[in-house]
Amino acid sequence: MTRPVTSAERALQELRELILGGALSPGARLGEVELAERLGVSRTPVREALSRLAAEGLVEISPNRGARVATWTVAELEGVFDLRISLEPQLTGFAVPNASPADIEELDDLAHRMVEVGGPGPRQDLDALVPLNRAFHDRLVALAAHPTLATALAAAIHPPIVRRNFSAYDAESLRRSLAHHVEIVAALRADDPGWARAVMTAHISNARAVMVRAALHETAQHVSTQDPSDEEAS
């Protein structure tokens, strides 16, 4: 028998999707009363949901400004991607000699499934793309068998940034990203660590360009629509 979903769980699920899907933009104020009306619940489930989302890094809560959708500065994003680009290509290169034919087939399947669900068009499903992408990258890290670098990389990757990254892609950048996964598999088949490292470097550089461009746009948009009361509260 399926357990019924509580009001707090439903509020959490719906708010998470509104944020990750872009309906609530970075920096947007999250008033409990307005959200309760929008979601059809009381303020208590909304308050619980906001606390959970703050723990996930999707919401920022401060005494003076209340709850808002989390934002990342350009400098913070660049720091995340700088760390990734120093670690993930190395791990990808280490994975090459450890990848068995079965591992390569598994990665190949993930890469082509990502092309199917992530390719721009009416059948695109970014929600399905996210776990496939995570599985692909996690498999490479596992194959690298380098726990020290893997731990450092895990600390550098923020799931909300990854999910928003896909939402921010234009069609050309997304196609390029999906093609990188296929090419990394080709480098594994060729037993070429240098090729694999180079493609992963390009892959992360592509993601970085997308996110920095989106952050600059969001910053400009936020400044142009800033509520005067924000300045008084600061």
Q: Which residue has the higher pLDDT, 78 or 164?
A: 78
In the predicted structure, residue 227 carries a pLDDT above the cut 60: no
SS (H, E, C) the chain: CCCCCCHHHHHHHHHHHHHHCCCCCCCCECCHHHHHHHHCCCHHHHHHHHHHHHHHCCEEEECCCEEEECCCCHHHHHHHHHHHHHHHHHHHHHHHHHCCHHHHHHHHHHHHHHHHHHCCCCCCCHHHHHHHHHHHHHHHHHHHCCHHHHHHHHHHCCHHHHHHHHHHCCHHHHHHHHHHHHHHHHHHHCCCHHHHHHHHHHHHHHHHHHHHHHHHHHHHHHHHCCCHHHHHHC
3-12, 57-66, 218-227: least confidently modelled range:
218-227
In the predicted structure, residue 232 carries a pLDDT above the cut 50: no
- The model's pLDDT over 22-43, given as tens digits with 9 standing for 90+, comes to 678 777 899 999 999 999 999 9
pLDDT for res 19: 80
pLDDT band, residue 233 (cuts 50/70/90): very low
In the predicted structure, residue 106 carries a pLDDT above the cut 90: yes
Residue 184: how many other CB atoms lie within 10 Å: 27
Superfamily of domain 74-217: GntR ligand-binding domain-like (1.20.120.530)
Is 7-71's fold the same as 74-217's?
A: no
Question: What's the CA gap between 39 and 47, in Å, rounded?
Answer: 12
pLDDT for res 56: 75
- The model's pLDDT over 129-186, given as tens digits with 9 standing for 90+, comes to 988 998 999 999 999 999 999 999 887 776 556 555 677 889 999 999 999 999 999 9
Q: Which residue has the higher pLDDT, 75 or 118?
A: 118
Average pLDDT for 77-81: 85
pLDDT for res 156: 74
Whole-number average pLDDT of the chain: 86
pLDDT for res 47: 93
Question: What's the CA gap between 149 and 153, in Å, rounded?
Answer: 6
7-71, CATH topology level: Arc Repressor Mutant, subunit A (1.10.10)
Residue 19: how many other CB atoms lie within 10 Å: 23
Kindly list the domain boundaries of the chain, sorted by start residue. 7-71, 74-217
In the predicted structure, residue 207 carries a pLDDT above the cut 80: yes
